[in-house]
């Protein structure tokens, strides 16, 4: 890869930086919800007797678990879409390089051991 190809790739990756930061933030929120849903209910001692947590607390934990699951699905979907766009950018750079090398007899794939993994 020459410098302009590397610059193009880094420029495209910089464009995705805000989206990556947003996905990190959303993943942290999902993790916090998931952690909250896994916290065991805590009862209290009242007049020497143990009183377990109420149904409202358990319902809240179920709600947190549900929203954590929904949020994780959304984060996974957006992450997959972002990875697909990155893959397409690399493919476009590779095609452009192959077009440039078509007349020179140079084989970009073997010269640079460049591979795109699905």
Q: Residue 8 domain-assigned?
A: yes
Q: Residue 26 domain-assigned?
A: no
Q: What is the pLDDT of residues 54-95, one digit of tens each?
A: 888 888 888 999 999 999 999 999 999 988 988 888 888 888
Range of the domain at 95: 1-17+55-101
Identify the pLDDT of residue 103: 62
Number of domains comprising the chain:
1
Q: Residue 94 domain-assigned?
A: yes
DSSP string across 60-108: HHHHHHHHHHHHHHHHHHHHHHHHHHHHHHHHHHHHHHHHHHTTTT--H
Q: Is the pTM of this model over 0.75?
A: no
């Amino acid at each position: 890869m020459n410098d302009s190809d590397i610059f193009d790739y880094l420029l495209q990756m910089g464009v995705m930086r805000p989206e990556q930061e947003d996905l990190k933030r959303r993943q942290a929120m999902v993790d916090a919800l998931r952690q909250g849903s896994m916290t065991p209910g805590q009862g209290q001692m009242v007049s020497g007797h143990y009183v377990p947590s109420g149904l409202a607390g358990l319902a809240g934990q179920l709600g947190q678990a549900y929203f954590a699951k929904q949020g994780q699905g959304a984060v996974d979907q957006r992450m997959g879409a972002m990875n697909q766009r990155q893959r397409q950018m690399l493919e476009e750079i590779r095609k452009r390089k192959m077009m440039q090398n078509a007349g020179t007899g140079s084989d970009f794939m073997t010269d640079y051991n460049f591979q795109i993994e699905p």
